Every structure is written in C-alpha cells, then in structure tokens.
Structure 1
C-alpha cells in the first residue's frame, strides 16, 4: 500500500489516511476527498509503532504485530500449557439462522491468540445465508443488513486457512464447530477438528454471566466479534482451569490473496425483545456435561413449539455431545428447575407464567407436578367459607383430631352429614365444593383434582374445629390452571380444560391457515 507522501505524485487511488480517521482515504489525483474506507483488517500502523495495526471497522485498536515476528509456538505465556505444539489458538463465534446443521451462519468472528494471550489477528464478517435470517432477537441482524454481505462460500478459504494448525476455542464449542463444519462441508472443505477448548464447560455459565463473574467486559452481546473478543479474554482468565491442552485443527487450506467481507458497524443491531422463556433462562447454570445441550434448549423452546424436525435436531445434538437418554432427562429437569427458580424469584407466579412453565414441562415430557409442586404455594389464596347446609365435601388422607385420635372416613362422613353437609366420594368440577385433607399441601390425586378445578381445600384439624364450634372454615383455593397439551402432528403446545392429542389446526376437517397469513 502506497504511503501518504507518495499520494501527491500518484494516480487516483486509495492511500493511507493522513488524518488517521480510517485506514484509507481516496485521492483523486489532485486532492484528498472525504471518501473513506472502513473495511476492517490489518493496515500499516499510522503511528509507526509496529508494522501493522488492526482497524476494526470503526476505529484503530491497540492490536499490533510485525510480519517478521516469529510464528513458532512460544514455550512461555499464560496460554502455553493449552497450546502444546500449536502456534496459536483461534477463538470463534458464529451467529446462525437456527440450531440445525441445515441452518446457516449469518455472522462469524475469529480471534487469533498467541501463547501470551495477545491478539495477533481478527477476522469478522456478516454472511448472507440466502434464506430467512432466523431469530433477529438473538443476533440483531436483518435481511437488509445482510443483503450485500458475502455468501459463506466466498469466505470459506479465509476461515479454513486461519483454523489450519491452530487450536479452536469457543463458548459452547460443540455448537459453533458443528455449524461451521456444516458450512465448510458445503464448500468442499473437510475438517479434522482436533480437540477444542470450551470456556462454557469450564465456567458452567452463559457467556454474559461468565464474563460478569470473571471481570470481562461484554458489550452488545450476540454480535459475533464482541462475543469472540469476550470469549478470548475469558479464555485467558480461566486458562488454568482446563484439564489439558487442545489438539490442532487441520484443514489443509492456504490463505486466499483477498477476501470480501462486510462488517457490522458499531451498534448496528436491531433490538427485539426476546421471548419470555429466553429471558427467564438467562441466568441458568446447567451441570458441565449437559451445559452445551441445555444452552440450546431456550432457543428451541422459545416459541413453545417443538416440531418433529426440532426434536430430531435436539436428539442429534445430544448424541454429538455424548449424552445418554438419562443425561438428556437430567438436562431437561435441570433446565425446567432453573426456569422455575427464575420465575419464583419475585415471590409471584402469574397465570401466564404458570401456563408457559406447564407447557415447557409437557414439551420436555416431564410431569406437570414438576411445576405445580413448586408453584402451588405461591398461588393459594385464603378466605373464610361458611359450612352451610348442602355444602358438598370430600375427604382425603389419614385424619386425626385435636387429641391425636385417628378418625376414619366413615366417621368423617357421619360428622359432616350431622352438620347438614353432603359428603361425596370424589372431587369433580361440579359435584364437590370442599376437599378436607390431612394436610392442605397434599399432592394426592384428589388434591390435584381440587387444584385443577379451583375447589376449596382445608386442613382436617381446622375442619373438625369449625364443625365443633359452628364457625366458618379457613380454606385455600387457587385459579384452575388447565392441562398443558402437545400436538402429536405439529408439535405446538397449548392449554385446555382436558388433555388432547391434536391441536385445532391439525384436527381432521380443520381449516388450514395459508402460509404467510
């Protein structure tokens, strides 16, 4: 690249910007223009402190290097124990249209670190997937922003050449390498991934949480470059926690002479409020062995639909992560537990929150009691119920009176009838007004039915005392929650008064809504 001093006698072209506002400024053969080049990359250092300095598309950074610097691995430095024979670690982050191998990458960033943890190269670009861009609420990218970006095939060689011989690191590396492997395969590049370094496995937290714990600044998360930079710094901070070194990746691809990129400008993200479940799962802390799988559940369940294809993809992910059916069940239960912890953090559980949590349980093939056992204590309301004649009452559990004497079911029925009440044998929606239980927190079959129908519940000792005194009874009740259902055909979830196997749309004779309506 010609220097600024040569521009006076040169032909029109791009030259080093004498005002250092950007790497290059257009010289029209007579004078400097206002046209600047903001392409990210390594350029001659305007301050001459090194041969090259990195321009990130917005500004000059502190990352510098000299072409003559040795490329052989160093035996010292914080990352040296992780390098073994490799010259560098390449930290990757990808943003995608979805979770399956059929989905596409919409943005990639690669940060190359030497043994000291110093950044020696950065590569990033948005990628046109030539299909729907997927969840904008995750990556903040739109079709318009990606319209002029290169396709992955245009950058495949540049990506593969940076990986060749380096150790790959990422936060949830199995997912990033899976998506990248699919893209490279489409471009005819086969990869031996070696053994990667995964900061998620070490920290057990999502990137934003892990960064907060370890004092790493993460601005504008889910921008690939910002996430990769944060992961690179996080890697240095937690390097001593890895149990051993990585093994180099092999692609056999040499660097192309040039590559077209399209970088996201600073703050260039569309901010869309994420679905409720994604926000709720923000501070989840799964067990290390299931963490990569659990991290993806929130995205898969965000719309409260799990299609057959999505279930197959989750099963494929579990297999890739080496998870057994018991591990997957543990991951599902842990995920739901974390959702419940987050939902109950404010001490309130709304009907809408309960509905979503029950539908998540149904989608994960977990019993509804997994949710209701935790949420019921937050949903009860107490009030006084007069024991008027004709009140229909049912009994459950072994009842003892105030003196500790056991009272059998027949004796309870006799006492209730003598007070003008109407004893019944079961809890139904229309034929039971009150359930008397040995413990009103009971989860017996009758208690579950009472919760489902909103039937009043009272402790047995309080009931016997009220009968004896002829006083009103303190009872508990809650709004009925409905039954969470999952359609066997389309995978949609919904709540209904009774269980059903097919949603309205998929039932025979139902009118189909045209696509796009």
Structure 2
C-alpha cells in the first residue's frame, strides 16, 4: 500500500561543495500526498557560520541569518518531515548531497538514504524536449515560477511539477517508491516542540533589531564627558565609512555607548553635531552638488535625525566650521593593508591590481596590521570578518571602498 507521499525539498547554499566547506543557508520542505496534492509546507533560513557565497544569486544577506537557527536546531524537525516519504527535488543529487552532509555534521549517521526522485531527470521521459531547468519544466505545464532561488518558491514549483508528472503517468511507476519509503526505517529523532517553531522564514521581522538609537539607555544624570564623546564619535565615524550600518555595527554602537556611559539624549546631540560637521565640509567649496545632498540625506536617516535637518542644510551652512573637528578621521594612506572577503561585483584580482597601483597592500589574511576589510556583505559571517571585528578593524562594502578611494 502506498505511504503518506512525498517530501519535496529545495536548498539554497553558499556554494557547490557540500562535502567540504559549503553549507545550506535556506531550506524548504513541501509535502505532497500520493495523488499529487500539496498538503503542507515549511521553510527556514539557516545560519551557516561562514560567508554566504554568491549572494547575488540567492539574495540572502548576512543580517538575515544572524538569528536564524543552525541546521542542528532543526534536524529533528526535518527527520519528522522526511521520514516515511519519498524525497523529491529538482536536481536531487545536489539537494540530497547537501542534506546528508548537514545531517552528518549535526551528528546523525545516515546509513540508508531515503528513496529519492529527481524531477529534472524524470523530465527526459515525461516531457522530452522541454529542457532540464526548473523554469523550462514548469513552463511546459504553465506552472508559475516567480522568485526563483528562494527555497520555498522553488520547492512549491517542484511540488506542482511532481503533481503534473503523477497525473501524466501510470500509478504503477510511483507505488514502489512510496511503498519503500513507508516501510523503510530511517533516522530516529524526537522534536522537543512542534515542528516548525524554531524555523525562521526569509523576510520574517519577528526578531529584527530596533533602531540602534532606541536601544541606547537613557541615563539620568549623564556623567560622560568630552573624552567619552570623542570615543563614541570616532566609532560612529568608522561605522559610517560606507554609509551603511550593519547589524554588527549597530550593536557595537549600543554596547560602546553603554560602556562609556553616554545616554541616548547625548547620543542624539552628538549625532546632530556630527551631521553638522559633514554639512560644513560639503559646503566648504560654496556649493552642494547632488551627490553631497544624497550623502547628507543618507547619513541623516542612519542617525535617526529629522528630515528637516537636511532641508535646512540645503539653504544655510551650520554654525560649526571644518576646523572645529574632523568629521572623518579615517582615510586610507599608501602602504595600508587591505583584505577582501566574499564575492564582490568586480573580480577580486581586479581590485587587488587597482589597490597595488594606488599604493596599498592587498593581503589574503587578517592580522592586526590590516587597516581595512572589504566585504561583499558588511555583516559577513566569514572567518576574516569575525577576526576583523575582534581586532576592531573597519569593515566596509564595495561601495564603501569606492568611496574611500575617490
């Protein structure tokens, strides 16, 4: 007798080598019954504790996975979702290889793999001449595939494709797989709670951090002085090098304000002073161009300043002058060591060549001698980025590097 049906999976990964260093960063499971009807779906991001790889393909940012579960956190849930079912994927060799590698890392010994079907391979017999990609196969049945390279989108499309395959073929083809899955003994695990409670779907904002300023403690009285204020402003300037506040940078600003005893209201005042200094620099040649206006608007938003401060900056200079204080203490100088991590839009070799031409020293590894780290994602979880944070080395994105070199 046919078992409960199929578990269609799709994974997004950091790369292609499951057996070595690449990891799953998103997984989706869709249940399909023996007749081809979808009966349930689950999805979650996973924290791979490493660089996310080709982010331009899967679109997942490091900040998205900072609070996501590890694979080991959901392994028992997955066992419940997969047990007794036929595993199905489009290019199943790829997805199953990553799945079993992750189970192995989590301490589960997979002695016998699940019965498995590949909708890509089945296409050659069921829809010959249609092409092998998921998009081609879906097009043959007019199945919508909007938002490819998101695990749940691809898994749902594959599940619908499986339903079409089942409807187009004799049931006798599918029953042996279903019977084998239903009667087989696979991994054993017991979830500590209902399946899916630890899972975190992409786009979920349930654990999204608040604006960093609102997390800074409001002290009464504030006993911090000029020394603490300069230290806070120095960190703020470093965090804003690329005009982007990563989650790590926001958290460090909150932590540093707490250590220094700087209150929220004082931070608000310091933010305004910092902004006014930037305005003074922008006005130093007597004109604000469109790039300077856009830059000031970006900084104002990052610092939670009201929109009217930008409007005011367009028509009048602030009372401070450039001589009062340097609004940007950080600058690259010839001989500085620069490390690049992650996949930038420009090839790394090209960047290294340009850095050398400009007198800088590109290096492959992080030491305390490094001046700057350039990451595809400023919240990168790569070992290089983690070490840079330990050493207090600034991390900027590719646009930030361009800004510093201009």
Provide the TM-score with structure 2 as the length reference. 0.44
Bigger proportion of residues as helix: 2
> Relative contact order, CA 8 A, sep 6+: which one is greater?
2
For the pair shown, the structure with the greater C-alpha radius of gyration is: 1
Q: Pick the structure with more strand per residue.
A: 1
